[in-house]
A and B are shown apart, each in its own frame.
Chain A
Amino acid sequence: MTAIYQKELKSYFNNLFGYLYIAIVLLFMGIYASIFHFNYMATDVGYTLNQSAIAVVLVTPLLTMRIIAGERQRKTDQLLYSLPISVSATVIGKYLAMLTVFAVPMGVVCLYPLVFSMFGTVNFALSYGSIFAYFLMGASLLAIGMFISALTENQIVSAIISFLAMLVVYFSSMFISYLPADATTAFVVLALFGVLLGIIVFAMVKNYLFALIVTTICEVGISVLYIFKRSFFEGLLGEFVGGISVYERCLNFYEGMFDLTAIVYFLSVISLFVFLTVQAVEKRRWS
């Protein structure tokens, strides 16, 4: 694992991507910091973090696009498979390398509260709590991006899909108020998801009967739920879309609340996507 970690970390700084990522994140942080803290005299670093989240969201694909897809494109994955390192160790090593690159600008941001404290009173607990939550948010995005990278062997495709996914994650919270909150719409959308699931199952196992059974079970389950417990569907769409929004979870921290559910949420997202990445890489051997 350490060998993979060192190799990945080195490769980020052997080419432009690592520097570019750090530079862009720091640039946005710096711009917002100068606006909020030096112009408007705010002391909570949360303002800067909140505004610059878009930068992290947008440049995450720079780190994640080639992390798995690049190996496959260059056929170096064959080397990794033949080395006495398990797939999970490889994936975790790679993930830790990305975290380390992300930790560089975050380390610089950790200095911000110290600088601000020279000019006024700073709530350090709140500031560092915010930075911690922000780091976990970025870490979740990296895990999602890595999973997307594991799905394709083309870095460009991987970058574009990651970029779209990041945008969805970022902007989803803004759509909530526009979504219909009634139960019927939620039911229809869920039913459509059931059909989609059936199509995906069919694409994967190429078995009509099995796909049909899966779809039928889903649809019957949803219908039964709709008939007997209609209240379940009310506001479901909004909740669902809100659930995707990784970035919303940080807001409590910026206001001074140490939100344990958010931390559990981040850690779950990270573990889920690291796990899925391992499965996706493992699956390649079986194709």
Chain B
Amino acid sequence: MIEVKNLVKKYGNHTAVKGISFKVDTGKIYGFLGPNGAGKSTTMNIMTGCLAATDGQVLINGHDIFQEPKAAKKCIGYLPELPPVYMDMTPIEYLTFVGKARGVNKAELVSQIEEIMEMTGIDNVKNRLIKNLSKGYRQRVGLAQALVGYPEIIILDEPMVGLDPKQIIEIRELIKSLKENHTVFLSSHILSEVSEICDYVMIISDGRLVASDTPENLSKNFSGNSLELTVKGSENSIVSSLRHISGVNGITVKSNENGVVKAVITSDRDIRSDVFGIFQASILEVSSSNMSLEDIFLKYTEVEEEVEEVDDEDDGEEYESLFTSDVKKEKKEDEE
């Protein structure tokens, strides 16, 4: 289990991490999501003891990473942004070194390394010098390194970078399979990856944690009950009849062409049957517009600018109000 309390990191005058707190429970895959420069790598480097924090605390299984580094680091396998491989070693030499350094006993080490090399698919290059391996293979050697000694917590900084699509699928499956015995904490800026494998997503922006929940909840919280409706008829009559449905909060007309109106309706409850009741055969299309993780991500990470300048986009109003209140809620939770 990892516990991060009010982490702050300053580089001179620049504050990279501005008070992040979260808890990571055992046996789940956590995704750390954020645009470039949001403070993901800095946070991960602090969590693994590569960097010292300006303020705050990191507890790994109850051991403070600064006070009891040895005990804490024994529980961690870390793959930094750039795979930390030695170019003049072969993968097997490299993994043996890491195993010895982690204190894996000799008898176990050989079979364990064999197993890990098979899992990560590097057993066919195990006797080649790492400098002769491609980027994807180096990445996988780096990943294998994080698994040596089977530490309880595996922290991966952008593990999929540099892999081809087939490898991405393989590594994704591998990470999913790790869940049984390990806690995985991975960062990424690729959303599909995170929504695919993570049980829990934390979105970080500008050094702050702006949201953390399961991917499903995140997208549900965001869109609420939102319906996209395409219907034949005149705009005015459609809007007025929609207004009569109880529970409708907002109606945004997106387009009105040749008597076909496209509108997005947000409401407190499921209003699909009411809509069918009113428009019946003139309905061309109804779909619930759940936001993808991508939209959520963009909304959250653009928070700073958008909260300040009141948005004047015509179709985004409902989202914005929903979203700012969510953020406030989120921040309150953080403070608690």
Q: In the complex, what's the smallest C-beta–C-beta distance from B133 to chain A, in angstroms? A: 14
Please indicate the chain B residues that have their CB under 8 angstroms from the CB of A11 in the complex. Answer: 86, 88-89
Q: Is the CB of B101 within 8 A of A76?
A: no
Q: How many whole Å from B198's CB to the nearest CB in chain A?
A: 22
Residues on A with beta carbons closer than 8 Å to the beta carbon of B50: 77-78, 81-82, 285
CB pair B97–A6 under 8 Å, yes or no, is: yes
Cβ contacts under 8 Å, B120 to chain A: none
CA of A287 to CA of B100 in the docked complex: distance in angstroms? 29
Chain A residue, CB-CB nearest to B155: A82
Q: Provide the bound-state CA to CA distance between A14 and B86, in Å.
A: 11
Q: Are B100 and A84 in contact (CB under 8 A)?
A: no
Q: In the complex where A86-B69, A86-B70 touch, is A74 in contact with B78 (Cβ < 8 A)?
A: no
Known contacts: A14-B89, A82-B48. The answer to whether A2 contacts B84 by CB under 8 A is no
Cβ contacts under 8 Å, A287 to chain B: 11
Chain B CB within 10 Å, residue with most, of A7, A81, A82 = A82
Please tell me the size bucket of the interface on B: 20 to 34
Closest B residue to A15 by beta carbon equals B88
Which chain A residue shows the least CB distance to B83?
A75
How near does chain B come to A19, taking the closest CB pair, in angstroms? 13
Tell me if A74 and B97 are in contact (CB < 8 A).
no
- Residues of chain A within 8 A (CB-CB) of B101 are 3-4, 83-85
Taking CB atoms, residues of chain A closer than 8 Å to B3 are none
B80 CB–A CB distance under 8 Å: yes
CB distance from A101 to the nearest CB of B (A): 15
Interface size of A by CB at 8 A reads 24
B260 interface contact, C-beta 8 A: no
A76 and B52 contact, Cβ closer than 8 Å, known pairs A3-B97, A14-B89: no
* Cβ–Cβ contact A82 & B100, under 8 A: no
Q: Which of B48, B87, B97 contacts A81 (CB 8 A)?
A: B48
> Once bound together, how far apart are the Cα atoms of A109 and B310, in whole Å?
81
Cross-interface CB contact of B78 among A3, A78, A85, A86, cutoff 8 Å? A78
CB distance from A134 to the nearest CB of B (A): 30
Answer yes or no: B103 CB below 8 A from chain A CBs: yes
Q: How far is the CA of A181 from the CA of B15 in the complex (A)?
A: 52
User: How many angstroms between the C-alpha atoms of A86 and B50 in the bound complex?
Assistant: 12
Whether, in the assembled complex, B145 has its beta carbon less than 8 Å from a beta carbon of chain A, the answer is: yes
The DSSP consensus for interface residues of chain A is: helix
Cβ < 8 Å to B, chain A residues 34-84: 74-79, 81-84
CB distance from A252 to the nearest CB of B (A): 41
Nearest A residue to B74 via CB reads A84
Give the residues in chain B near A286, CB-CB below 8 Å. 52
CB <8 Å contact, B145 and A79: yes
A200 to chain B, nearest CB (A): 18
Per-residue interface assignment for chain B, residues 1 to 24, with 1 indicating a CB less than 8 Å from any chain A CB and 0 otherwise: 000000000010000000000000
Contact B86 A76 (CB under 8 A): yes
Is the CB of B93 closer than 8 A to any CB of chain A?
yes
Residues of A within 8 A of B87 (CB): 74
Chain B residue with Cβ nearest A206: B12
Contact B84 A83 (CB under 8 A): no
Interface string of B209-253 (1 = CB under 8 A from A): 000000000000000000000000000000000000000000000
- The 0/1 profile, CB within 8 Å of A marked 1, for residues 66-105 of chain B is 0001110110101011101111110001000110111100
Across the interface, which residues of A come within 8 angstroms of B45, CB to CB?
A: 78
The 6 closest A-B pairs by CB, nearest first: A79-B84, A3-B100, A3-B101, A84-B73, A82-B78, A81-B50
Residues of B within 8 A of A (CB): 11, 45, 48-52, 69-71, 73-74, 76, 78, 80-82, 84-89, 93, 97-98, 100-103, 145
20 contacts between A and B (CB under 8 A): A2-B100, A7-B86, A7-B89, A11-B86, A11-B89, A74-B85, A74-B87, A75-B80, A75-B82, A78-B50, A78-B80, A78-B84, A81-B48, A81-B50, A82-B50, A82-B78, A84-B102, A85-B70, A285-B50, A287-B11
Known interface pairs A6-B97, A82-B80, A85-B70; 19 further A-B residue pairs with C-beta atoms within 8 A, sorted by A's residue number? A11-B86, A11-B89, A74-B84, A74-B85, A76-B84, A76-B85, A78-B78, A79-B78, A79-B145, A82-B49, A82-B50, A83-B102, A84-B69, A84-B70, A84-B71, A84-B73, A86-B70, A285-B49, A285-B51
Binding site for B on A (CB under 8 A): 2-4, 6-7, 10-11, 14-15, 74-79, 81-86, 285-287
